[in-house]
Amino acid sequence: MSGVLDIQVNGHRWTFTLNRPDKLNALNAELVDALLEGVRHAHAQGARLLVLRGAGKSLCAGFDLSDLEAQSEGDLVLRFIRIEQLLQALATSPAYTVALAHGKVYGAGVDLFAACRRRIASEQGMFRMPGLKFGLVLGTRRFADLVGTQKALDILGASRSFSTDEAVQMGFVQQVLAQEDWPGVVQECEALVVELEDEARASLYRALDTVQADADLAHLVRSAARPGLKDRLRKYLGQ
């Protein structure tokens, strides 16, 4: 367990709490590595339920750019690749995955939310995916799979925010619950996962799987490797 990530294990339930509240749980390299290692370890231990949540005022405010000037373009590309590896680990998990969102959820934070099978948000949640503002294609297909191609074009093309209410209307958020009610729904999910044997559940997920891992990674790498990434990020931060 890392200081930036709190992991609680209760039987077959693993709860991952992003713990950088002063940064709205923005994803730095340490947090991404801790999450990826934690998810892989949970899989190895036979976890049936993974719960993803954030400490403080947000689930996750996206990619941490506070150290941009200290990073080379190669460093940045590698960090984005690691995030995609994390998203794929969640999207293909043999466990039932639950994301609990509140506050402002941006960029890679929205991608984390989208990668989970059960997506619950507080009423005041706000979402935005600004990656195309700096030319990055990350999580785009997963988002479109959930909301439809036309809706994804409308939102991503304008890089606009959308509320929990709109997210419900387009199927991105499945349930709206106040944070104090989250423990109850997690218990419901625990009861759900024991209805099927582990292999039957994994077979169900494989049969319904729409993941295109190699294509998603290729789209990301091509977009991130285009020369001038750092300048595009500077421009985005300065707007």
pLDDT tens string 228-237:
999 999 999 9
pLDDT reported for residue 198 = 85
CA end-to-end span of the chain: 36
pLDDT reported for residue 207 = 84
Looking up tokens 């990530």 gives 5
How does DSSP classify residue 228? T
Helices (H), ranges, the chain: 29-44, 73-91, 108-114, 140-147, 149-158, 164-169, 182-193, 198-208, 213-225, 229-238
Residue 218 domain flag: no
Residue 79 domain flag: yes
Q: Model's pTM, two decimal places?
A: 0.94
CATH number at residue 130: 3.90.226.10
Torsion, Cα of 132, 133, 136, 141 (10° steps): -20
Residue 220 domain flag: no
Tally the domains of the chain.
1
pLDDT in tens, 64-106: 999 999 999 999 999 999 999 999 999 999 999 999 999 999 9
pLDDT band at 239 (very low <50, low <70, confident <90, very high): low
Residue 13 domain flag: yes
Residue 175 domain flag: yes
Residue 219 domain flag: no
Torsion, Cα of 21, 52, 36, 216 (10° steps): -110
The answer to whether residues 215 and 141 touch, using CB atoms and an 8 Å cutoff, is yes
Question: What is the extent of the structural domain holding 76?
Answer: 5-193
Residue 238 domain flag: no
Nearest to 9 by CA among 59, 56, 50, 55: 50
Residue 37 CA to residue 43 CA, distance in Å, equals: 10
The percentage of residues in the chain with a pLDDT greater than 70, rounded to a whole number, is 99
pLDDT in tens, 26-65: 999 999 999 999 999 999 999 999 999 999 999 999 999 9
Kindly tell me if the per-residue pLDDT of 1 is higher than 60.
Answer: no
